[in-house]
Amino acid sequence: MEGASVVGVGMTDFGVHDQPLPELFADAAFEAMDDAGADADVIDAFYLGNAMGGQTESDTHLAPTLASHIGLAGIPCSRFEDACATSSNAFKHAVEAVRAGTHDVVLVGGVERCTPSTGLETPEMTAIFASASHRQYEQPTGLTFPGVFGLLTTRHMHEHGTTEEHLAEIAVKNHANGTLNSRAQFGKETTVEAVLDSPVVASPFRLLDCCPFSDGASAVVVANAAGASTLTGDPVTVAGVGHATDVIPLAEKADLTATQSARDAASQAYEQAGIGPADVDVVELHDCFTGAEVLAIEALGLVEDGEGGPASARGETALDGRIPVNPSGGLKAKGHPIGATGAAQIVELVEHLRGEAGERQVEDASTGLAHNLGGDAGTTIVSILEVAR
């Protein structure tokens, strides 16, 4: 089996973009292709992440449409949909395709618009997001996605004593990181008091515990050795990609605080990379809600089970902490254009591993981990990247 590397990265600012999806995506795709030194004729395939274009913009069969817009018509194009884990799944399949030698160079992308630029306001968008929960046994209860993570986090608070203050500290940390990221949707600091004073969305989450609705696009160029040899981009090695699922609906999950798919995906990725949690220098993870970051750092083995809240409040996951988590600002501050989120995590890690992350650079980072969760943790993909040796 061949090795895989990321040879080029690009992304738009996350925020509000009043542009059609093909135009929005082109901005990220051309940046990634230029970074890789990849002209259109060296791209062998295009794997796209877009979760909700059919519902939000009446726009489907998007992979060949976007490919056509950026000069890639003719090559195999596939669209992936796994709720928030959408473009990580596209990334995983690109890595496997170049490892197998099916393709040498694959463009992976993600694009989504979720703000009122789509013409949809909060109730409509909340309903569309909720469509990732079970159609018969969850959606008709009025469960929302903040509610899904509210259920998981409330149980964690009951079992482990996690507090609303612990959760607020995570929002404060990710907002602070976001101020150092020019692409972040929120460029302002917040405080524990401001988080606790904001209105409840779904208990225990308040407005400032939740990621925003965002528009944005991201792209990465993945290549095997043969492909990379034709390109000029500074490569970062893909050391492991794990992918696991768990039972849906969430009432059937064995343990509501485990996010078991994240544990399973992490074990696969760690095993492929031949490392453990202690070897990771920088983490981008799926903090759609502050409580999701608590569950994720425990599932990834970065802290003991039950310690996610207190460890975060102690600053262990801060930019200057023991294990920096979400230096980009995370979904919380950077933004969460669903289908673009997974590939954007890879963009952030590549910049740290190249030493190009500017003010938020994690010093001497040589191993980075991305955790991208879909739905109620029905899907998680964990990717490990390393400085090329």
Partner 1 sequence: MTVDERLTHARWTEALRDGRLLGQRCSECDTVTATPEAACPACGARGLETIDLPTSGIVHTATTIEVSPTEFDAGYRVAVIDLETDGGARVTARLEGEASIGDRVELTDVLEVRETVPVFS
161 binds partner 1 (CB under 8 A): no
Burial class (CB in 10 A: 0-12, 13-18, 19+), 161: exposed
Kindly state whether residue 242 participates in binding partner 1, applying the rule CB under 8 A: no
Distance CA 207, CA 68 (A): 39
Strand, coil or helix: 223: strand
Residue 26 lies near partner 1 (rule: CB under 8 A): no
Give the ranges where 189-315 is alpha helix by DSSP (H): 192-197, 225-228, 260-273, 290-299, 308-313
Tell me which of 103, 175, 336, 352 is the catalytic residue: 336
Contact predicate 243/92, CB 8 Å: yes
User: Binders of partner 1 among 127-146, rule CB under 8 A?
Assistant: 127, 130, 134-144, 146
| Catalytic-labelled residue, pool 84, 114, 211, 288 | 84
Paired with 325 in beta bridges are: 283
CA distance 190 to 188: 7
- 152 touches partner 1 (CB under 8 A): yes
Question: 109 vs 310, which CB is nearer to Zn ion?
Answer: 109
SS3 label, residue 16: coil
Q: Does 232 participate in binding partner 1 (rule CB under 8 A)?
A: no
The interface partner of residue 84, options being partner 1, Zn ion, none and the CB cut-off 5 to 8 Å by kind, is Zn ion
Q: Which does 191 bind (CB under 5 to 8 A by kind): partner 1, Zn ion, none?
A: none
- Which positions lie near Zn ion, rule CB under 5 A? 84, 288
Separation of alpha carbons 218 and 204, rounded Å:
31
Measured from the CB atom, the residue of 253 and 352 that comes closer to partner 1 is 253
Residue from the set 150, 242, 337, 374 that interacts with partner 1 by CB under 8 A: 150
Catalytic residues: 84, 336
Q: Which residues bind partner 1 (CB under 8 A)?
A: 122-124, 126-127, 130, 134-144, 146-147, 150-152, 154-155, 158, 199-204, 247, 249-252, 254, 256
